[in-house]
Amino acid sequence: GITARLEPVEGIHEGGRLMVKGPNVMLGYLNADSPGTLAPPEGGWHDTGDIVAIEDGFVSIRGRARRFAKLGGEMVSLAAVESMISGLWPGFNHVVVALPDLRKGEQLVLVTEKPDADKKALQDEAKLQGFPELWMPKALLVTRAIPVLGNGKIDYGATRELAITMRPLL
């Protein structure tokens, strides 16, 4: 069997980072500095990289840890914001990225393929759905095409870099 535990994550009040341990969990990562040797997970606990909640024995995945942003001490799910935006403007790709912000640590920026994306419409929809103002992108950047990987999935790293290069235009 597998044993699971949650590591607390500052700013996430329900759930935490999923750690697993057991005989069927990987033995470790290959050590780049010493080919052929494994670097086992610390204490045998493997960090899945997932933020989850465990309720009544059921695991609910909230998202990947790297797809959260820390804004003013609160962790914000970028996927949750993207889902709300996709409901407002279906048929277009939208990615929310976190960029450095001197006041709050990070700020959210929406990169979208919707040519006439409107910040006011986004704010109205967010309010209607009960999203906190803190979760709203501070800027909207329109692009013809959001970068994708060879498998067709969104390339979040390249999209973040695109937002950084477009940011001076704000």
Instruction: Collapse the DSSP code of 170 into the 3-class scheme (helix H, G, I; strand E, B; otherwise coil) and give the result.
Output: coil
For residue 165, what pLDDT is reported? 92
CB 95 within 8 Å of CB 111: yes
Mean pLDDT computed over 35-64: 91
User: What is the domain range of residue 151?
Assistant: 72-169
For residue 101, what pLDDT is reported? 83
Same domain assignment for residues 97 and 150: yes
Same domain assignment for residues 38 and 91: no
Distance CA 150, CA 111 (A): 20
Same domain assignment for residues 52 and 109: no
Of the three residues 38, 65, 92, the one that is the final residue of a domain is 65
For residue 88, what pLDDT is reported? 97
Here the tokens at position 73 are: 């001490």
Alpha carbon of 98 to those of 4, 22, 59, 69, 87: distances in Å?
Answer: 29, 35, 26, 6, 21
Q: Report the range of poorest mean pLDDT among 62-66, 82-86, 115-119.
A: 62-66
Same domain assignment for residues 89 and 108: yes
Of the three residues 65, 83, 115, the one that is the final residue of a domain is 65
Same domain assignment for residues 52 and 21: yes
Tens of pLDDT, residues 133-161:
989 999 999 999 999 999 999 999 999 99
For residue 17, what pLDDT is reported? 95
Same domain assignment for residues 51 and 92: no
CATH number at residue 46: 2.30.38.10
For residue 118, what pLDDT is reported? 94
pTM recorded for the entire structure:
0.79
CATH number at residue 131: 3.30.300.30
User: Mean pLDDT for the chain?
Assistant: 92
Tens of pLDDT, residues 121-137:
999 999 999 999 989 99
Count of structural domains, the chain: 2
Same domain assignment for residues 152 and 98: yes
Tens of pLDDT, residues 77-113:
999 999 999 999 999 999 999 998 887 778 999 999 9
Of the three residues 21, 45, 65, the one that is the final residue of a domain is 65
Alpha carbon of 21 to those of 4, 14, 27, 62: distances in Å?
Answer: 6, 22, 10, 20
Tens of pLDDT, residues 10-38:
888 889 999 999 999 988 989 888 888 99
Same domain assignment for residues 164 and 115: yes
Model confidence at 170, pLDDT cuts 50, 70, 90, reads: low
For residue 169, what pLDDT is reported? 57
For residue 102, what pLDDT is reported? 80
Same domain assignment for residues 54 and 77: no
